[in-house]
Amino acid sequence: MSECSCPDNRWSWVEIDLGALRNNVRAFREQINPRVRMMCVVKADAYGHGAVRCAEVMSRAGAHQFAVATVDEGVELRKAGIAEPILLLSQPPVTSVQTLVDYDIMPSVYRSDFALAFGECAAASGKIGKYHLAIDSGMNRIGVRPEDAVELRRSIDFHRGLECAGTFTHFATADTPDDWDFTLQVKRFTETVKALKAAGLSCGLVHCDNTPGTILHKEMQMDMCRVGVGLYGMQPAPSTAPYIDLEPVMSVMARVTRVSEPEVGEGVGYGMTYRIPHKGTQIATVNIGYADGLARELSNHMEVLVKGTRCRQVGNICMDQFMFCADKPGTALRRGVEVEEGDVVTVIGRDGAEEITMDDMAAARHTINYEVACDFGLRLEKLYV
């Protein structure tokens, strides 16, 4: 078996290209007006790429702030020494306020009872609790409704333990050019901010653009952009691709653990959904399964790369393993390839002239690249290169 570019105890891994990540951060810095801050979104373990290692690179490459989805994600960054402001993109349970204060994590706020509990806790610790006001401009996910925003702020602003460090909304259709729903969300958000300021309430940093917004709606960059998926080298939608070049950051790799040459007619895997069609069919096994994020619905509908050659995955994908087939050279019309134990298998990534992208797999799964990346981040060990 050839020398091992894999973790000590596993035959499969994801490779995270930190140089590509750095280049993507810089590519976004060029999209963002120099006066506008960049918040890097590292929720869900940086979309499966590893939050701490990614945040360290982003911090050096020009990130001003970070965003996470859960309190625990924020605590993980603080424990790793990340010093930039951290925004929690939701309003967490009221029982978490002490942790927010202790680790200096800013919650999103849209209810007065939560805000006051947070302010009380901060004041009792001799601190000021910074938060961002979330405004629901039309997505109907989180936030205070525009018509209630001024009243909410008035009901909490007296508290000496609170400071509004930001005011934001999130767009449901930022990737659709010339979209009426987008225009309406913009109007609701800007008018709400105007009303807050007219009422003498300071809004802190005003922000709304996510990755597609940052690229397609530069006029809405305001004080800060919240960039997520693009940093990891994925286009949020086909509409953004003409405007920015991004480098893929995650590859999904493995080594073949076993090769056999079954008799014609033998089956492969649970349910034997594939039968050996002719002599010279090699069946190779790989230690990646649906518990590693390789969706079972891809069974018999995906390919992998071995020695620069596309090979069909066959049989049902198991929890921890899958099989693929390859014709021995000279045994079929297709170009064959000799597969051996230890050969490198590329599930996502490039091998020679061939490439399988997150978008390819997302299309085959009827989902978006975001989900494919998050899934592969769940269990596979990460190798940073």
Report the interface residues with ligand PLP, using CB under 6 A: 41, 43, 89, 170, 210-211, 226-229, 236
The DSSP secondary-structure symbol of 107 reads P
Nearer to ligand PLP, 41 or 55 (CB): 41
**Nearest distance from C-beta of residue 214 to ligand PLP, angstroms:** 7
**Nearest distance from C-beta of residue 343 to ligand PLP, angstroms:** 35
- The whole-angstrom separation of Cα 66 and Cα 287 is 34
- The whole-angstrom separation of Cα 345 and Cα 325 is 12
Strand partners, 106: 87
Nearer to ligand PLP, 41 or 288 (CB): 41
Nearer to ligand PLP, 138 or 161 (CB): 138
**Nearest distance from C-beta of residue 143 to ligand PLP, angstroms:** 9
One-letter identity of residue 145? R
- The whole-angstrom separation of Cα 28 and Cα 58 is 11
Quick count: other Cβ atoms within 10 Å of Cβ 355? 14
Kindly provide the residue ranges of all beta strands, DSSP E only, lying in the chain, ordered along the sequence: 12-16, 37-41, 65-68, 86-88, 105-106, 108-109, 129-134, 162-168, 205-207, 224-227, 250-260, 267-268, 274-275, 281-286, 303-306, 309-314, 322-327, 344-351, 354-356, 381-384
Nearer to ligand PLP, 141 or 301 (CB): 141
Which of 79, 187, 270, 279 is an active site residue? 270
**Nearest distance from C-beta of residue 330 to ligand PLP, angstroms:** 47
Nearer to ligand PLP, 28 or 322 (CB): 28
Which of 43, 131, 232, 382 is an active site residue? 43
- The whole-angstrom separation of Cα 73 and Cα 67 is 9
Q: Which of 109, 77, 92 is nearest to 204 (CA)?
A: 109
Nearer to ligand PLP, 240 or 251 (CB): 240
**Nearest distance from C-beta of residue 24 to ligand PLP, angstroms:** 12
**Nearest distance from C-beta of residue 229 to ligand PLP, angstroms:** 3
DSSP 132-155: EEEB-SSS-SSSB-GGGHHHHHHH
- The whole-angstrom separation of Cα 275 and Cα 202 is 68
Kindly provide the residue ranges of all beta strands, DSSP E only, lying in 154-242, ordered along the sequence: 162-168, 205-207, 224-227
Which position's Cβ is nearest ligand PLP? Answer: 228
The verdict on whether 270 is a catalytic residue reads yes
Q: Which two tokens stand for residue 184?
A: 């309406």
The DSSP secondary-structure symbol of 96 reads G
Report, as residue numbers or ranges, the catalytic residues: 43, 270
